[in-house]
Amino acid sequence: MNDLSIRKDRKAGRITFTRPQALNALSHEMALAIIDALSDWENDPSVALIIIDAEGDRAFCAGGDIAAVYQAGKAGDHSVGQVFFADEYRMNGMLADYPKPVVAFMQGFVMGGGVGVGGHVAHRVVGDSTQVAMPETGIGLVPDVGGSWLLARAPGRIGEYLGLTGGRMDAGDAIHAGFADFYLPEAEWPAMIDKLAESGDASLLKGRPAPHSALADRDLSAFGGRSVADIVKALEAADNQEALKPLRRNSPLSMAATLAMVRAARGDQRMQESISREYRFTYRATAESDFIEGVRAQIIDKDRNPQWQADASPAKVEAMLASLGSNELAWEQ
């Protein structure tokens, strides 16, 4: 596969994204290849740890490659998205529970599907170019790939803020919010990767003092509101135009569902519970949400003018997150 370089390097299993021209967007085939590699290395005694990195300066992985999901969904075939999301989420779950140390080096854009690859592993490294975000409400989707689990565990109301607005985090913010563990200047990454591959010892990974998090200083109490409407009202009272702008731009259904999902995920014991809830929405997304219109406006036509139509009522949110019955995402115990 030209989009990934999967190989063994001394004591490390190496997975490198190699499609920088597409900001290393994650395709269905790439997700399956990662699953296969992780399965092969799990019981391979010559592999002591896994290193995930990416070519190019602009992105570790800027998200899932959803063009095929969009085209099929627009044509009335919803199975393409359902199968892609199911396989991607199983890959996310494997990374979260992997029995050997996994180290991700995440430069540039780390968004959506990129968070799913790098955000759940044991050792998450960020640098000066890193920009982490879960911007799905802007395309009529919800923070998935375990994003609701991570958002739910961020301090205070950061999870609601990031989930609804799609706001970006730099290295300091990502560490403060629990999306990363180590800050290391990117010039030092090659030497650290070499040391890890040579030794097979993840305990040798050391970072530097993290940059200050501006996110930690923000008053996000408005995002404790019971509903999106309540949050908007509180932001209007505080004249917080910066936060109001994305809330007026993003899909109302997606934001309402995201609010419910982040709060529900606070009660989950395993990331897989959060992903299973996310899958209920994404399974239905191409048929029953604003997803097709959001992708059209932001990615296909790029007019940045989505015409949101989906009902955003509490009943609709409940229906989008209701059990899928026999189609629920299955996990190996």
Kindly state the DSSP code that residue 156 receives in the 8-state scheme.
Answer: T
For 26, phi then psi, to 5°, come to: -90, 120
Instruction: For CA atoms 285, 38, 163, 185, give the dihedral sign.
Output: negative
Establish whether 136 is a catalytic residue.
yes
Distance of CA 142 to the CA centre of its chain: 10
Which secondary structure element, helix H or strand E, spans residue 12, and what is its range?
strand 12-17
What are the E-state strand segments in 45-174?
49-54, 59-61, 102-106, 109-111, 123-126, 131-133
Q: One-letter amino acid identity for 215?
A: L
**Rounded alpha-carbon distances, angstroms, from residue 47 to 16, 102, 275:** 16, 11, 28
Establish whether 144 is a catalytic residue.
yes
Residue of 56, 52, 62 whose CA lies nearest to 27 = 62
Farthest CA pair distance, the chain: 60
Q: One-letter amino acid identity for 182?
A: F
Burial (Cβ within 10 Å: 0-12, 13-18, ≥19) of residue 147: buried
Residue 14 and residue 7 in contact, taking contact as beta carbons nearer than 8 Å: yes
Q: One-letter amino acid identity for 137?
A: T
Name the catalytic one among 53, 65, 88, 144: 144
**Three-state secondary structure call for residue 171:** helix
Establish whether 268 is a catalytic residue.
no
Name the catalytic one among 136, 160, 170, 293: 136
Name the catalytic one among 73, 108, 113, 114: 113
Which residue in the block uniquely carries the two structure tokens 């989009």? 3
Establish whether 76 is a catalytic residue.
no
Name the catalytic one among 63, 64, 81, 172: 64
Angle between helices 252-265 and 271-288 (to 10 degrees): 160
CA 318 – CA 98 distance, rounded (Å):
32
Catalytic center residues: 64, 113, 136, 144
